[in-house]
Amino acid sequence: MITYKPLWKTLIEKGIKKTELREMAGFSSGTLARMGKDQYVELKHIDKICQVLDCEISDVIEVDKESRKE
């Protein structure tokens, strides 16, 4: 399962609110809501987040191995 925990940590470190990120990256509130529920979003959104935050993909998403179904 993909989780956005690294993104929330990155936003805290940079002092950016979730709504500010949404405006900076230009995606919908629905996309932000899906991220808040650890649901999949299009890779173009992840790419844009990395660009506007000047960070790596590992600062945005990670694979939560604990919640993987076998």
Average pLDDT over residues 46-68: 92
Tally the domains of the chain: 1
Q: What is the CATH number of the domain that holds 30?
A: 1.10.260.40
Average pLDDT over residues 16-24: 96
* Contact residues for 56 (Cβ-Cβ < 8 A; gap 6+): 50
Q: Is the pTM of this model over 0.75?
A: yes
Determine the Cα–Cα distance for residues 70 and 61; give it in Å rounded to an integer: 21
Domain span at 17: 2-67
Average pLDDT over residues 31-49: 96
